[in-house]
């Protein structure tokens, strides 16, 4: 008989992870929606973001806030540089070239990070207490709750930005139809750059929060692998879909780890999310909240 | 009527021989167009789509007030001319000058920011965004965001139907409503020059009359209008000046009333004779 407490624990644990997955997935979707570029290296960006924060904290000796701020500045700079120098010249080439370039950059980042950040701590020290909180009989790590709460706040801020601000409106227009966006006076390239700036910020935030929640920066590149099941499930075109799907995948993985891993051996959670991806492509390829591009002519 | 290949037929009227790009015969455009300052001057514009020469030396002038109509058959190059002015296609040769500033070579969004707003055939709606969002988008082009709320009020006053549908997705509107939204969105930018490409296309006669009631109203409030229309009669009836385009060249030009009365225009475009 399944233990309800255990079940609840798994769900909560999964949801907490899901909040952070959502940040990484959003970094992916924001770029994709605006420019149709598929950023295969989103996991590597997150890894570099977290290492940048750790490096800033260590070398500059400033507190957590300062380290995050400095890392954001550096990552925004890196992202804008990447967009301007690598992506923009390829703008008129095929989309495939753009995609391959992001894969190449991911490989480069993985290698370069080992060299550039050599000797520096892998992760920034968590400011949260180590002892878990007991909530109605369940031990929940404070790290995880705090990280998830911050992630949720960031998601809310992003949603407000996209739906409530002029720039957000412009970004949505660019994502919807580039020709129309130009016709209303929107500068496409400036807005593409903006989306990459967001990637820079989100990579620092998601990377750092992940290192808090997972008790170590290890496996952070694997976050990138989780993005694909999430965005396919939620619909590549839908921001709310991405957020919901991130929680679904998080909870699913947690349940699988809790119930199936003892049966089939560890690590099945990764397989499970990819099985969901395959199932979604077979049943509802546009994702549950995505829409095929059918418009009234 | 004609495609874009082959030499243009010489104009039916007129004593003076036709020259490419220059209006011919006794319907020559008078310099300065009756004393109104020129807002937009197109000079000897050549546009090609690959090997197809869509515009072969077109010149026209839009004064800073009133309506200029551009009529002609399918394929004459009317839409191409609007696209060349708004920057969607690049002219091979020639100049488009807005109050002295050269527009050829500028990117589309910068021309829009200079408040030269093009409403294309097919309207260019963002179907998955609401009416309100589409309207707000129009306001982004206005460099000085003085009072977006007032601009919205004006748009709704002009098109009351849009107000009741403001939270609906643009894609769910009817053709006529989408045309209203397209014009409303264009007006949000407080354009100096509004370029309309076939606004009556596909609309029921009642809506066509409505559109042609609104266009002079907009012009009366200070927006210059360049109107491309296949419905030559309605276009000539509301415009002050008009040009006739045929296979990429201007073949006739002058006050719209004169063109309306001209027998060759009546034969070719107004279904008389």
Domain-wise residue ranges, chain A: 14-119+143-226
How confident is the model at residue A77, as a pLDDT?
Answer: 96
Q: Is B171 on the interface with A (CB under 8 A)?
A: yes
Taking only the tens place, the pLDDT of each residue in A44-88 is 999 999 999 989 988 887 888 888 999 999 999 999 999 999 888
Distances (CA, A) of A21 to A258, B161, B244, B272: 19, 43, 60, 69
Q: Is A184 on the interface with B (CB under 8 A)?
A: yes
- Identify any residues that bridge with B243 across adjacent strands, giving them in sequence order: B70, B253
- DSSP-derived secondary structure letter, A77: H
Q: Checking phi first, is residue B68 left (phi over 0); if not, alpha (psi -120 to 50) or beta?
A: beta
Please say if the pLDDT value at position B12 is more than 90: no
A173/B137 Cβ within 8 A: yes
- Among A239, A244, A219, CA closest to A175: A239
3-state SS, residue B216: helix
* Alpha-carbon torsion angle B130, B131, B136, B140, nearest 10: 90
Average model confidence (pLDDT) across chain B: 84
B137/A169 Cβ within 8 A: yes
Residues on chain A touching B113 (C-beta within 8 angstroms)? 185
Taking only the tens place, the pLDDT of each residue in A87-99 is 888 888 888 888 8
How confident is the model at residue A1, as a pLDDT?
Answer: 52
| Backbone angles phi and psi of B201, in degrees to 5 | -60, 125
pLDDT category at B106 given cuts 50, 70, 90 is very high
pLDDT > 90 fraction of chain B, expressed in percent and rounded: 56
A185/B124 Cβ within 8 A: no
Taking only the tens place, the pLDDT of each residue in B166-182 is 899 998 998 889 999 99
- Best A184, A187, A295 member to test B by mutation, with max B CBs in 10 Å, is A184
Residues on chain B touching A297 (C-beta within 8 angstroms)? 122
Q: Is A220 on the interface with B (CB under 8 A)?
A: no
Distances (CA, A) of A221 to A111, A113, A265, A275, B99: 12, 12, 22, 20, 56
Q: Which two tokens stand for residue A159?
A: 């949603």
Furthest C-alpha separation in chain B? 58
B185/A186 Cβ within 8 A: no
Give pTM, 2 decimals. 0.83
Of all residues in chain B, the one with the smallest CA distance to A182 is B109
How confident is the model at residue A213, as a pLDDT?
Answer: 81
Of all residues in chain A, the one with the smallest CA distance to B187 is A184
Of all residues in chain B, the one with the smallest CA distance to A188 is B109
A177/B171 Cβ within 8 A: no
CA B190 to chain CA mean position, Å? 16
Across B81-92, average pLDDT: 95
- A201/A59: higher pLDDT: A201
How confident is the model at residue A291, as a pLDDT?
Answer: 66
- Among A197, A201, A224, A204, CA closest to A55: A204
Give the span between the Cα atoms of A118 and A115, in whole angstroms.
5
- Identify any residues that bridge with A117 across adjacent strands, giving them in sequence order: none
B124/A182 Cβ within 8 A: no
Ordered by where they begin, the domains of chain B are: 33-114+192-273 (3.40.50.300), 125-190 (no CATH)
Which is it for the CA torsion B198, B98, A181, B219, positive or negative?
negative
Contact residues for B7 (Cβ-Cβ < 8 A; gap 6+): none
Across B104-124, average pLDDT: 92
B113/A169 Cβ within 8 A: no
Please say if the pLDDT value at position B111 is more than 80: yes
Residue numbers of A between 1 and 40 with CB closer than 8 Å to B: none
If one counts every other C-beta atom within 10 angstroms of the C-beta of residue B150, the result is 9
Please say if the pLDDT value at position A221 is more than 90: no
B129/A184 Cβ within 8 A: no
Of all residues in chain B, the one with the smallest CA distance to A166 is B140
How confident is the model at residue B26, as a pLDDT?
Answer: 38
């Amino acid at each position: 008989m399944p233990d309800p407490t255990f079940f609840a624990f798994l769900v909560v644990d999964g949801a907490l992870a899901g909040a952070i997955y959502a940040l990484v997935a959003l970094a992916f979707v924001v770029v994709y929606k605006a420019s149709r570029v598929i950023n295969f290296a989103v996991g590597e960006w997150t890894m570099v973001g977290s290492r940048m924060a750790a490096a800033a904290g260590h070398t500059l000796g400033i507190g957590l806030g300062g380290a995050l701020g400095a890392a954001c500045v550096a990552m925004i700079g890196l992202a804008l540089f990447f967009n301007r120098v690598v992506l923009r010249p390829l703008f008129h080439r095929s989309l495939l070239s753009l995609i391959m370039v992001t894969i190449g950059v991911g490989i480069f980042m993985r290698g370069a990070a080992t060299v550039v950040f050599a000797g520096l701590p892998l992760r920034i020290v968590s400011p949260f207490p180590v002892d878990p909180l007991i909530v109605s009989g369940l031990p929940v790590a404070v790290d995880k709750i705090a990280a998830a709460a911050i992630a949720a706040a960031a998601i809310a801020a992003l949603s407000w930005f996209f739906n409530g601000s002029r720039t957000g409106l412009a970004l949505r227009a660019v994502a919807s139809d580039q020709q129309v966006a130009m016709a209303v006076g929107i500068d496409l390239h400036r807005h593409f750059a903006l989306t990459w700036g967001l990637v820079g910020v989100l990579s620092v935030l998601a990377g750092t929060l992940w290192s808090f929640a997972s008790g170590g920066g290890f496996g952070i590149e694997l976050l990138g692998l989780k993005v694909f099941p999430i965005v396919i499930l939620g619909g590549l075109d839908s921001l709310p879909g991405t957020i919901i799907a991130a929680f679904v995948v998080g909870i699913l993985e947690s349940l699988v780890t809790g119930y199936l891993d003892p049966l089939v051996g560890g690590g099945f959670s990764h397989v499970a999310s990819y099985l969901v991806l395959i199932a979604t492509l077979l049943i509802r390829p546009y994702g549950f909240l995505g829409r095929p591009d059918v418009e009234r002519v | 009527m004609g495609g874009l290949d082959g030499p243009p037929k010489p104009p039916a009227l007129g004593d003076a021989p036709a020259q490419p790009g220059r209006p011919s015969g006794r319907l020559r455009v008078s310099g300065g167009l009756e004393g109104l300052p020129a807002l937009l001057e197109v000079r000897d514009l050549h546009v090609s789509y690959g090997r197809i020469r869509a515009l072969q030396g077109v010149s026209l002038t839009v004064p800073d007030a009133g309506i200029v109509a551009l009529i002609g058959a399918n394929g004459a190059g009317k839409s191409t001319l609007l696209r060349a002015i708004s920057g969607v296609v690049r002219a091979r040769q020639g100049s488009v000058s807005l109050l002295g500033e050269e527009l050829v070579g500028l990117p589309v969004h910068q021309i829009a920011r200079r408040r030269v707003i093009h409403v294309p055939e097919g309207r260019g709606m963002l179907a998955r965004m609401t009416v309100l969002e589409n309207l707000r988008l129009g306001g982004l082009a206005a460099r000085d965001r003085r009072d977006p709320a007032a601009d919205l009020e004006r748009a709704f006053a002009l098109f009351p139907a849009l107000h009741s549908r403001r939270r609906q997705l643009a894609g769910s509107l009817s053709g006529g409503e989408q045309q209203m939204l397209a014009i409303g969105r264009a007006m949000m930018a407080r354009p100096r020059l509004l370029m309309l490409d076939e606004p009556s296309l596909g609309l029921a006669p009642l809506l066509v009359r409505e559109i042609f009631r609104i266009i002079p109203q907009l012009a009366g409030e200070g927006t210059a209008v360049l109107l491309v229309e296949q419905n030559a009669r309605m276009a000539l009836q509301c415009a002050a000046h008009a040009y006739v385009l045929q296979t990429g060249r201007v073949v006739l030009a002058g006050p719209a009333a004169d063109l309306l009365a001209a027998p060759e225009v009546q034969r070719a475009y107004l279904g008389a004779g």
